[in-house]
Amino acid sequence: MHAATTSNKAGQRIARSLSELTYACVTKPWQTIATASTSEGLLELRKRGETEHLIVIGGRVLMNSAAQRSEQALATVALSERSSVRRVLISGLGMGYTLRAALDELPRDARVIVAEIDPTIVEWCRGPLAAATNHAIEDRRVSVELGDVAQLIARSRGFDAIILDLYEGPYDAVGCFSLRGLADIRRALAPNGVLAVWSEDAAPAFTKRLDRAGFTFTSHRVGRGRTHVVYCAAPRSVSNSR
């Protein structure tokens, strides 16, 4: 989970698991196993059975372990056909499914920085959620930086891939998804680097900003029912931008 905004589209991110819960097992009740106070309301980790988890904030479903396909696809779409990737930034952490999928694609000498603003999410991924991703966050290739990913990107260089699944989504021109933020991402990417962004649905205003910021991009429908979108973007070469 990353910093929230007042974006209307943020509600779509919160609601995505609600529609997908219709195919989840309903034979056992949910139990709250951990909580933390936030400015958005009570953050809860709930469990049902041995493997099902929900993260809920202010009574709203934020993440659902039964709906992990698009989070996994975010990493595989970005990395599966790129053999030279060694340095990767992922944000936010969520339940760790994007991180797990990225590690499965990356070589043993890769390095992955996970930027996460909420220490509680990191704690849960190291504790009650760890088994769901085969302890991805403890992989020796992974380091965690607590803080705002936009600030981390602004001071970084040389990432082969930047993979973003942020609470506010790419709909509004704020943070990483503003023109300034995209310019910072472009500078932070290595030559031939890739930006991958998860979106609840198509975000035409975001694609216009990508174009203005000097990126080419493709979009991929992913997840159950292919309702979510992964955008893969790369900086245009100087010759192609003329």
Average of per-residue pLDDT values in the chain: 89
pLDDT at 20 over 70: no
- Higher per-residue pLDDT: 3 or 198: 198
Radius of gyration over alpha carbons of the chain, in Å? 17
> Model confidence over 114-168: pLDDT tens digits?
999 999 999 999 999 999 999 999 999 999 999 999 999 999 999 999 999 998 8
Prediction pTM value: 0.86
Q: Which residue has the higher pLDDT, 242 or 79?
A: 79
In sequence order, what E strands does the chain have?
31-38, 41-48, 52-57, 60-64, 87-91, 111-116, 142-146, 159-164, 189-199, 215-222, 228-235
Lookup: tokens for 166: 């942020």
Residue that is written with structure tokens 């070589």 in the block: 107
Supply the pLDDT for residue 2.
Answer: 53
CB of 150 closer than 8 Å to CB of 176: yes
pLDDT for the residue 166: 94
Return the DSSP state at 143.
Answer: E
Rounded to 5°, the CA angle 215-13-188 comes to: 30
Output the pLDDT for position 226. 75
- pLDDT at residue number 11: 52
**pLDDT(227) > 80:** yes
Residues 14, 40 contacting (CB under 8 angstroms): no
Closest of 6, 14, 9, 16 to residue 205, by C-alpha: 9
The yes-or-no verdict on residue 240 having pLDDT over 50 is no
The first and second tokens of residue 13, run together, are 């991110």
In angstroms, rounded to a whole number, what is the distance separating the alpha carbons of residues 110 and 104? 11
Residue 117 DSSP symbol? S
Nearest by Cα to 99 from 86, 85, 112: 112
Return the pLDDT at 27: 66
Residues 64 and 12: their CA atoms lie apart, in Å, by: 14
- Residue 161 gets the label, from left (phi > 0), alpha (psi -120 to 50) or beta, of beta
